[in-house]
Amino acid sequence: MMLDKKILSIFKNRQVVITGGTGLIGRQLVDMLLEHDALVRIISLDKISVATEAEHIYGDLTDFNFCKQVTENAEFIFHLAGIKGSVEVTKSKPASFFVPLLMMNTNLLEAARKSGAKKVLYTSSIGAYSNASVFRESEDSIEKPPMDMYPGWAKRMAEFQINAYRQEFGLNNFSVVRPANVYGPGDNFDPENSMVIPALMARINSGENPLKVWGDGSAVRDFAFSRDVAYGLILAMHFGTGSGFVNLGSGTATSIKQLVETLNSFIDFDYEFDSGKSSGFSSRVMDISKAEELLGYNPSTSLKTGLEETWEWYKRNESEYLNKINYFKK
């Protein structure tokens, strides 16, 4: 993936706020912007250091006064902070997911509006879509509920908030993206509360033999590497996303069977599929043609390359997840 230095130069010596800057996508974004001399301010609940050159402010975005404090004097605001959780956990503890996510989005976006920031970008989610085999921006409908019920509604509410700003105040400096199933270094590897790729890696690392994979392996997903998505955020911040949002995926459909086989191509482990367990949605794949045309978005990291880099990072940082705040244990 070639980075456009001309686009990145607009951030030189500019105050850039990144909420969730210690997270999966955030740390990649931090690195890119620091490499091009941005003045980066990371806002995080997790006391994890990802870049010594950046300013770190630790605190809770559900506090509106804190949001006003950290967005002060910011020219660019990337709002990535959220709550990650497995499908099982978000179903069993919906309030623990929905309420703080709703509060942090409402507060941060309102603080960003009042701060007078030049541009603001909100990172929504594929889970805000209603169920479909292929997700296209033009086919999104507010009349149908999101696939990921509570987290999906929280993400949609933030999108509605931005639409309200556009309608009432005529603001066109807010942009919105919906990333796919993002993975990479810095992912959440908590075995009790992680998504499919970090969950599989953690179980392989623990010595589970054979590795039991839920479902028959036929379910198809869109696995996007975090560095590709981070650059997509920069492009979306620069070009804007108009009156709607833009998908940021990999452009490739991958079955769970293909995922496991790719992991097995560089990690030695035995595995078997458990057809008695649900495979989940049969297909969750993004159409990224709008991002390609509007932003020049061109994700180029192959699944194997991304998985290898993620595995190598995980082996060096197995216990990092222990330093992350788990909203579901509050």
The per-residue pLDDT string of the chain (330 residues; one tens digit each, 9 = 90 and over) reads 678 889 999 999 999 999 999 999 999 999 999 999 999 999 998 888 899 999 999 999 999 999 999 999 999 999 999 876 666 666 778 888 889 999 999 999 999 999 999 999 999 999 999 998 899 999 998 889 998 888 899 999 999 999 999 999 999 999 999 999 999 999 999 877 788 999 999 999 999 999 999 999 999 999 999 999 999 999 999 999 999 999 999 999 999 999 999 999 999 999 999 987 777 778 899 999 999 999 999 999 999 999 999 999 999 998 887 777 665 565
The CA–CA distances, whole Å, from 104 to 48, 67, 69, 286, 325 equal 19, 8, 14, 26, 15
Q: Give 72's DSSP letter.
A: T
Its CATH architecture, for the domain 11-329, is 3-Layer(aba) Sandwich (3.40)
**Residue from 97, 183, 104 nearest 146 by CA:** 97
Q: First vs last Cα of the chain: how many Å apart?
A: 40
The CA–CA distances, whole Å, from 141 to 222, 243, 317 equal 21, 15, 41
pTM: 0.94
> How high is the pLDDT of residue 85?
63
**Do 243 and 182 contact (CB within 8 A), yes or no?**
no
Q: How far apart are CA 223 and CA 305, in angstroms?
A: 12
**Do 248 and 229 contact (CB within 8 A), yes or no?**
yes
Using DSSP, state whether 16 is helix, strand or coil.
strand
Pairing of strands 254-255, 220-221: antiparallel
> How high is the pLDDT of residue 158?
97
